[in-house]
Amino acid sequence: MTPELLGFQITHRAMRGDVRRLADLATELAEGRQSADPARATAIAGFIAALCKGIHHHHTMEDQVLWPVIERAAGAEVDLRDLSDDHSELDPLLAEINGQATAFAAGRDASALVTSLTRLADMLDEHIEEEERLLFPIIRKYVSVADWKRVEDAVRKGGDVRVDLPRIEQYARPEELARLRKMAGPVLALLLSLLRGGHRRRQRLIFGPLAEV
């Protein structure tokens, strides 16, 4: 058996998708093509804060848990320095975005968010594509299923099921969602049905016309 990487793939896709949509939303807000009353501005800022927290947790778990697992398993077959350098550049940008989101909720315009969110979206696109290209074949070849489960468990501990599960349904392709349901059993379908309505309402409030992926 080889590690099942589908969960990581969908998480990566969701991070990239949400940041890019936020960059597009900030552009529309800054250009006056959408508007945000205080309630919507607060919801947007809260979503940005939660997303930044999730991105920080994900790359921290890669640094602290996944990288040591890969290095022990693959040894000289892998060089993680460039990917780790990318991670070190993320945290200052995430902090900057959090500050700009707070200012936006307090009444500032969205122009600063446009630049920072677009930069973050571009960074994530490049970094994740490189990470999956380099590391996924190595993980499948060298990492045991038990070690991979430890990685997934560590990542999952810092998540929020109310946010993470609806995003999986939102970003998974139909055939991927079918695989996940087969692996997880009926509990997944039940949780998705319970969380779906609230997630869609939040998406409509935050993204407006951009709510659909």
Q: Token pair 């940041």 is at which residue?
A: 19
Domains and CATH numbers, the chain: 5-160 (1.20.120.520)
Q: Does the pLDDT value for residue 213 go beyond 60? A: no
Q: Determine the Cα–Cα distance for residues 198 and 102; give it in Å rounded to an integer.
A: 23
How many C-beta atoms lie closer than 10 Å to residue 194's C-beta?
12
Q: Are 177 and 169 in contact (CB under 8 A)?
A: yes
Question: Around 7, how many Cα atoms within 13 Å sit in the side-chain half-sphere?
Answer: 16
pLDDT digits (tens, 9 = 90+) for 160-181: 888 888 998 999 999 999 999 8
> In which band, very low, low, confident or very high, does the pLDDT at 186 lie, cut at 50, 70 and 90?
confident
- Residue 64: Cβ within 10 Å count: 10
Cβ-contact 34, 28 below 8 angstroms: yes
Tokens of 179: 């695989």
Joined together, the tokens standing for residue 87 give 């991670």
Q: Which of 20, 211, 22 is nearest to 104 (CA)?
A: 22
**pLDDT for 136-159, tens place per residue?**
999 999 999 999 999 999 988 877
pLDDT, averaged across the chain? 93
Cβ contact 70:155 at 8 Å:
no
Q: What's the distance, Cα to Cα, between the start and end of the chain in Å? A: 33
Q: What is the mean pLDDT of residues 4-29?
A: 96
